[in-house]
Amino acid sequence: MSCECVIRGVIVMQKITYLLGAGASANAIPTVAELPKRLAEFSDNWQNEIRRLEKEQNENVNTENHKDFEILFESVKWLQNEIVHHYSVDTFAKKLLIRGDLPSLKKLKTVLSVFLLFEQARIMPDPRYDVFFSAILNIDWFTPGPILPDNIKIITWNYDLQIEKCYYDFCSGNNVIDKVIDKVINDISFNQKFIIRLNGTAGSEFASSVINKAMQAAFSPLTLEGMGALLDYYFQVIKPNSPGSGIRFAFESELNNLMKNVVNKAIKLVKDTTQLIIIGYSFPFYNKSFDRKILKAMEPTLKKIFIQDMHNAVGIKQLISRMVQSQEISIIETEDRFFIPEDYDLL
């Protein structure tokens, strides 16, 4: 699978970079406007799933767990009440950071991680990722499983598992689920030759046994055991001495070098990009300094930019034109699948 162009008689491999924001997962993960409502529904959804699974599996949840449920529900309600009074969860997180309220910032990240893992366990992933992987994945009959293309890279500000969950479906087959999850983690989550997650990943930075159980709950149909794993994850990660949930915010670079290091890796990954495809990303102010550095790294070779956004594509185009020079900026109006350039050879 290749994507080539001819420059002065020389065949040059096209390098395509996708820059993803919340809109790229909007068919499964709530956007800024929808998040308070979905958080408010969390406790009802959780209890409904428990009742359904108790009936299906013909067993009952330990009554002691119900106390833990209430603690989790109160934490989710706290986050929901707070973000109702803020523009987004990011603005609330930055306020906590400025206040120096790091325990509450950790609580925010932990609650958000559990919420996202649970939502992704009970809801099918955004189908656009499925179409995307169907188009770009290669097959080698001598190597089991899908093969990622060398000339497509992803930079994402999302901390959901939509990419992993869709890729998982191409790997599963009859393999043992733990081995499949390990493959997904190695091929996608921690594969910095293919993807850089600027905001981290919900559920990715804790002891491997907890990660595996929580991620298995997110990838597989929900079970009582899986919901117990999510509950255990919450109480382990919320501890003061735990390394955290795996979510990070751009503005935290003021306290440590982790974000700067991640951006430097992104800059290295996007070098020589010829086509940039921006999907569902609005370039919020608190990310702009990092976005500018990443875009500038592409500028020497960048030929085309495509914007795919359901809400503000024109505004994003105007913003992009002030941040980076490109020969062509186009708006893609298709909404049912992620855009793949016409000159990308799919044969």
Q: For position 17, which CATH number holds?
A: 3.40.50
pLDDT at position 258 is 76
Last residue of a domain, one of 243, 264, 293: 243
pLDDT at position 201 is 86
pLDDT at position 254 is 64
* Residue predicted with more confidence, 175 or 80: 80
Asked if 106 and 184 sit in the same domain, the reply is: no
Q: pLDDT, tens digit, for every residue of 95-154?
A: 999 999 999 999 999 999 999 999 999 999 999 999 999 999 988 777 777 888 889 999
Average pLDDT (282-303) is: 92
Strands (E) located in 80-232: 138-140, 143-147, 152-156, 195-197
Last residue of a domain, one of 243, 268, 300: 243
pLDDT band at 178 (very low <50, low <70, confident <90, very high): low
Are 317 and 331 in contact by the 8 Å Cβ rule? The answer is yes
Q: What is the mean pLDDT of the chain?
A: 86
Asked if 192 and 276 sit in the same domain, the reply is: yes
Asked if 235 and 277 sit in the same domain, the reply is: no
Asked if 335 and 217 sit in the same domain, the reply is: no
Are 133 and 346 in contact by the 8 Å Cβ rule? The answer is no
pLDDT band at 210 (very low <50, low <70, confident <90, very high): low
Average pLDDT (306-314) is: 93
pLDDT at position 63 is 65
Asked if 159 and 253 sit in the same domain, the reply is: yes
The edge-to-edge listing of strands for the beta sheet with 152-156 is: 195-197, 152-156, 16-20, 275-279, 304-308, 328-331
pLDDT at position 13 is 67
Return the percentage of the chain with pLDDT > 90, whole number.
Answer: 54
Asked if 161 and 33 sit in the same domain, the reply is: no
Asked if 22 and 168 sit in the same domain, the reply is: yes
Asked if 338 and 225 sit in the same domain, the reply is: no
Domain range for residue 294? 1-28+126-205+248-347
For the chain, what is the domain count?
2
Last residue of a domain, one of 243, 268, 290: 243
Average pLDDT (214-218) is: 80
pLDDT at position 32 is 87
pLDDT at position 7 is 42
CA distance 258 to 240: 20
* Residue predicted with more confidence, 236 or 255: 236
Asked if 224 and 141 sit in the same domain, the reply is: no
Radius of gyration of the chain (CA): 21
Residues 6 or more apart whose CB falls under 8 angstroms from that of 118 comprise: 42, 45, 46, 217, 218, 227, 230
Q: Does the pLDDT at position 155 exceed 70?
A: yes
Asked if 198 and 336 sit in the same domain, the reply is: yes
Average pLDDT (178-196) is: 77
Asked if 172 and 192 sit in the same domain, the reply is: yes
The amino acid sitting at 18 is Y
pLDDT at position 45 is 96
Asked if 71 and 85 sit in the same domain, the reply is: yes
Q: Does the pLDDT at position 256 exceed 80?
A: no
